[in-house]
Structure 1
């Protein structure tokens, strides 16, 4: 019979003990970089929302989508940062 080992549940403190400081730094850096990407997307989205409405494509809708995407990136970065602390 094979020996069964329990795996830590997602979000448990056991997972963070398995990560090395180098890996944690890598994840933190990735989180900061994603956050920066989110800020860029939000800025583009705001610019598109404020674009003149005489354009052929509805820029406001695309701007809204980019702002939503930026907020989702930010939300996930916050979750990552909370898990690392």
Structure 2
């Protein structure tokens, strides 16, 4: 059986321990890396949206989905960056 420890409550000493400079740097780096992944997805999505219509099946829907995914990743990265500022 796995021992479960309760999550630190807001305003307790556990929160300050979670917000060390090292941890904040790791979160910032992860946000930047996630943003780069979003840019790659957006580029693939644009390529698929512009693909010729004679492909079987048409790739435009997949391109739209990848562009949406990239924009959602970007939006969340912005929120993370704002929270870290």
TM-score range, shorter chain: 0.7 to 0.9
1:49 equivalent in structure 2: 49
Superposition deviation, residue 57 in structure 1:
1.2
1:84 equivalent in structure 2: 84
Two-structure CA RMSD over aligned residues (Å): 1.8
Matches within 5 A, 1:8-47: 8=10, 15=15, 17-18=16-17, 19-47=19-47
SS of equivalent to 2:73: helix
Q: Distance between the aligned counterparts of 1:48 and 1:21, measured in 2?
A: 41
2:3 equivalent in structure 1: none
Superposition deviation, residue 49 in structure 1:
0.2
Q: Distance between the aligned counterparts of 2:83 and 2:29, measured in 1?
A: 14
Q: Distance between the aligned counterparts of 1:7 and 1:23, measured in 2?
A: 18
SS of equivalent to 1:57: coil
Q: Normalization by structure 1: what TM-score?
A: 0.81
Q: Normalization by structure 2: what TM-score?
A: 0.81
Q: Distance between the aligned counterparts of 1:76 and 1:66, measured in 2?
A: 15
Figure out how many residues of one structure are paired with residues of the other and give that number.
75
Which runs of 5 or more residues in structure 2 are unaligned?
Answer: 1-7
